[in-house]
Amino acid sequence: MSRIKETFSKLALLKKKALITFITANDPAPKYTLKLMNTLVKYGANIIEIGIPFSDPMAEGKTIQKSHKRSLKFKTNLKNILKNIYNFRKFNKITPIILMGYANSIEKLGINNFIYQAKISDIDGIIIVDYPPEECKKFTKKMKNKKIDQIFLISPTTNKKRIEKISKINSGFIYYVSLKGVTGSKNIEINNLQKKINIIKNYTKLPINIGFGINSLKIIEKIKNIADGIIIGSKIIKKIKKSSKENIFNDIKKLIKNIRYTLDK
């Protein structure tokens, strides 16, 4: 059983929702990433997404775009990101790790080289925002052969035919983009969200997790029972940016504990 599948199976038995947390690799600086990963897990994250910084992150709002720019100042690339994950695995062999990024970063390293290094680093999944299913069949097959889940995005504008198509090749979990916009937007419509999740459930038995626009505890309270988990990114990135170097880990600890409490109550 994959780590992702095992994580959701355990959460289902405990009747808990998944907390999937996103950070951009090497933001605010390379020395913080590994400890941030450990802090997220210690205080309630079930799965970690690591953002691969890119010069043109089209799906991201301003908050995450700026984190990409900060990271790129340190010449962040896939090789040093995968090395960090490799080091994380020396101490944690339970928490699923998912990379999230853009095709250019993968192709620059070379698809076969990326898959080889990803397997050595023991990642569990990949989200490539600008890899539509029709254009990455060979890549998807290679990932499947290496038992690495490839996760696709479903949005409010995705029609039923395409939901069915994505559901057939998607693995790990369904990433549902809760709104028409970029990460960090503020216009989630709860009623429409519930309807769309119900439609998706007709096509897949995979866990469904909601991301984009989840920027307050009030929103978490409203949507937590609609799906199997939530994905938090911009809120964490904002906290990292605002925190002083001395307080960054304590501030993230408080944030994650509050989110975890809200999910569990």
Band (180; pLDDT cuts 50, 70, 90): low
pLDDT digits (tens, 9 = 90+) for 185-201: 456 778 889 999 999 99
CATH for 3-264, options being 3.40.50.410, 3.40.50.300, 3.40.1080.10, 3.20.20.70: 3.20.20.70
| pLDDT average, residue stretch 215-241 | 94
- 60 classed as catalytic: yes
Q: Is the pLDDT at 123 greater than 50, yes or no? A: yes
Query: Edge-to-edge strands of the sheet including 47-51?
Result: 149-150, 125-128, 97-101, 47-51, 18-24, 229-232, 208-211, 174-177, 153-154
Annotated domain spans of the chain: 3-264
The rounded percent of the chain whose pLDDT value lies above 70 is 97
Name the catalytic one among 6, 49, 135, 189: 49
Q: Is the pLDDT at 66 greater than 60, yes or no? A: yes
Name the catalytic one among 60, 107, 134, 135: 60
Q: Is the pLDDT at 82 greater than 90, yes or no? A: yes
Flag the least confident range among 187-191, 214-218, 237-241: 187-191
Q: Is the pLDDT at 14 greater than 80, yes or no? A: yes
Q: Is 54 helix (H, G, I), strand (E, B) or coil?
A: coil
CA gap 16, 9 in Å, rounded? 10
- 134 classed as catalytic: no
What confidence score (pLDDT) does residue 244 get?
94
CA gap 260, 153 in Å, rounded? 24
DSSP 104: H
Q: 59 burial class (0-12, 13-18, 19+ CB within 10 angstroms)?
A: middle
The rounded percent of the chain whose pLDDT value lies above 90 is 85
- Reference 255, options 65, 49, 63, 44; nearest CA is 44
Band (1; pLDDT cuts 50, 70, 90): confident
